[in-house]
Amino acid sequence: MSGRPFRHSGVLPRFRDAALGLFVAYREEPNLRFHVFAAACAGVAGCAVSLRGWEVAYLGATIALVLAAELVNTAVERAVDLAAGDRRHPLAAAAKQVASGAVLLTALHAAFAAVVLFGVERRLGQSVQAVLALLAGRPLFVLPPVITGLLGLLGGARRQSQRRDTP
């Protein structure tokens, strides 16, 4: 035993902790909820235009990249807040800015991927018509992004500040 906290010997407790981390981040981070909503919309659009094998892989990898960057950004922000406490430090600010810059970079890549998949590989007008036709023909297909969007807008806990009010 290494004496480190949160160390588990079994695989299932590790998966449980990872799933709990995803749940906590989704509940407390509005940007993550937005990215999940956007990912669901991209998935519906991908189904509507019948993406091919490499396109599905590219869309999936792009979505995973954005969500992973947002999760890492959340972890960096929490760790910096814990380490810095009430003090303002230029290195703490820089760490947070770099982590959020990584999210921005992946989000810009996601926009690029959308242009490639839905505007270059097929005309944008065709993509929009395909999405509208899918939603008109199978309106239940819109439920995943609507549910994630509503959970994102209505759900979630407001992150409470860890700081104590000192007189």
Domain segments of the chain as ranges: 51-121, 124-155
The single-letter code of the amino acid at 148 is: T
The single-letter code of the amino acid at 166 is: T
Q: Per-residue pLDDT averaged across 6-20, rounded?
A: 82
Work out the percent of the chain whose per-residue pLDDT is above 90: 44
Cβ–Cβ < 8 Å for 119, 127:
yes
Of 4-8, 17-21, 79-83, the least confident: 4-8
Higher pLDDT, 144 or 26: 26
The pTM (predicted TM-score) of the whole model is 0.79
Cβ–Cβ < 8 Å for 122, 49:
yes
Q: Is 121 a catalytic residue?
A: no
51-121: what fold? Helix Hairpins (1.10.287)
Catalytic residue among 55, 70, 77, 121: 70
pLDDT tens, position by position, 98-137: 999 999 999 999 999 999 999 888 888 888 888 888 878 8
Higher pLDDT, 90 or 161: 90
